[in-house]
Structure 1
Amino acid sequence: MRRLLYGLIGPAGLLALLEAAPRLGLVDERFLPPASEILGTLGAELTTAALWIALGETLRGWAAGLAIAFVLAVVAGVVIGIVPGLRAATNSTVEFLRPIPSVALVPLATLLFGPSLGSTLMLVVYASFWQVLIQVLYGVAAVDSVADDTARSYGLSAWSRVRHLVWPTALPYVMTGLRLAAAVAFILAVTAELVIGSPGLGLEIQVAQSSGAVATVYALIVVAGLVGIGVNSAVRLLERRILAWHPAVRAEAVT
């Protein structure tokens, strides 16, 4: 209960600041409406079907892109990690492609797919893929060499070693990668909608900004923030459930 109360202090202080700044004339209300007006607009938006349709489009692009990136990254990471010499051969390529900002692919996505779900998926998959792949590579590399040699000496097949040795060792890293990728995927989904005009919450923000509906812009930004918090909380809950056997998760649960 105390942790919850402490957690509410920050949002309450922010709301008070946003309410006072325009009222006191510190900022122009045309550019930053009071918090009460933003919350009123938010309440009105939540009753419209357009908002929920847009939010559904954003979550669809987020979920589909994240799922595609996760599967591809896990398969690629395990293969690269367990095949001798493959990680050294692909290291330069990974290090070259990984730092490329996903937003740099916006022109390419626009040319290939236009303002559609395809553009969103392209950016989301590219950004999320590297978050998971790097963690999987670290996880596979963390496999104890003695345990691996023992498994080989007992004649375990490659699939058995992956299933019973590599995967349990790499799983905490995989879940960390999924948590990071989930946040990045949501950011890129909204960014694609804002910049390219793909259907979703970002497009609604862009339309509101173009029409001069400033309070609506802030209300939709609040929606995006709340959804981002929900996405992160859901993935963390999934992580704790899947890694309930892990000592770090048990220690966190105790504290």
Structure 2
Amino acid sequence: MTDLRLSRRAAAPGVPSWALGVAGVATFLLLAELLPRIGVVDARFTPPASEVFLALVRQASDAAFWLALLHTIVTWGAGLAIALLAGIALGVLFGTVRFLREFTASTIEFLRPVPSVALLPVAVLLLGTGMASTIFLVVYAAFWQVLIQVMAGVQDVDPVAADTARSYRFGLWRRIRTVVWPTALPYAMTGLRLAASVALILTVTGELLISFDGIGGRLEVARQSGAVASMYAYVFVAALLGLAVNLLARRFESSVLFWHPSIRGEVAA
């Protein structure tokens, strides 16, 4: 990451990175405004950016919009929290106990590649068409991101440190707390960052296909009613949520891992 930042500075000396980011967004919005107006794309299906913005303002003036946004955030947060707790607990357990790691390896490799959307009919049959089905999909998708990372972190424990803990007769819980967890924590933070984005994708997908609640549900209603500008407005809201989730996850990672060399290197850069 440091090398990438240095290359950007070398390519554009004197220009701050945030200015380049703003310029990129402005260019995209300009093209989104001009291309439909000059007929390069069909304005019926891809309205100008100004129309999408006005539709977003109209939607934001309605209390139902904010309730839908809150519904999406709550669903995302609940699913991510469950996946995080389960992924960390089982990741530490499977990574620490060799028998369990080998016993579950084939099962994990069999279940992990299954797309969460493929389980949509199962979720509806078991849990109905409410929030619970969407949370089920979120947990299933996000859980693997955390589990695999935590297991990798546990396996990366320094053998010398592990042998030293055993020679001092550390109990299992003390060994996990003082030796295993500090090594696995950076991996867990990576799993959290990946899981947060995946959880948001599945939240919107579940709302769009199952419950018709939240931002995803309002997006689908806009599509069915032919309100194209409003549909794109909700796509834009989902994109903003994704950006916010990524920024918050990175900020949380930096605050938790302030002592880690990778974070200190970023700050120094």
TM-score normalised to the size of structure 1? 0.98
Q: Which residue of 2 aligns with 1:7?
A: 21
> Alpha-carbon deviation of 1:169?
0.3
Q: Name 2:135's counterpart in structure 1.
A: 121
2:36 is the alignment partner of 1:22? yes
Residue 59 of structure 1 pairs with residue 73 of structure 2? yes
Deviations 1:194-242 (A, max 9, x none): 1113411100000000000000000111011001100110111000000
Aligned letter for 1:214?
Answer: V
Structure 2 residue 178 is the aligned partner of structure 1 residue 172:
no
* Structure 2: runs of 5 or more not aligned: 1-14
Aligned pair count reads 255
CA deviations over 1:148-184 (Å, ceiling 9, x no partner): 0110010110000000000000000000000000000
Aligned: 1:133 with 2:147 = yes
Report the residue type matching 1:232 in the other structure. N
Residues 4-32 of structure 1, C-alpha deviation per residue, up to 9 Å, x if partnerless? 11111221111111111111011111101
Q: Confirm or deny that 1:220 pairs with 2:226.
A: no
- Distance in structure 2 (CA, Å) of the matches to 1:105 and 1:116: 15
1:43 deviates by 1.5
For 2:98, which of 78, 81, 84 is the aligned residue? 84
2:180 counterpart letter in structure 1: V
- 2 CA distance for matches of 1:170 and 1:8? 36
Identity %: 53
More moved, 114-123 vs 1-10: 1-10
Q: Which of 125, 143, 162 is the matching residue for 1:111?
A: 125
Deviation at 1:114, TM superposition (A): 2.2
Q: What CA distance in whole angstroms lies between the structure 1 residues aligned with 2:160 and 2:52?
A: 60
What does residue 107 of structure 2 align with? Answer: 93
Q: The residue matched to 1:85 in structure 2 has which SS?
A: helix
In the alignment, what sits opposite 1:196? 210
Return the match for 1:229 from 221, 233, 243.
Answer: 243
Consecutive unaligned residues in structure 1, runs of 5 or more: none
Displacement of 1:84: 2.6
* Deviant stretches of 4+, over 2 Å: none
User: Conserved in 2, the CA contact under 8 Å of 1:139 and 1:174?
Assistant: yes
Which amino acid counterpart does residue 89 of structure 1 have in structure 2? F
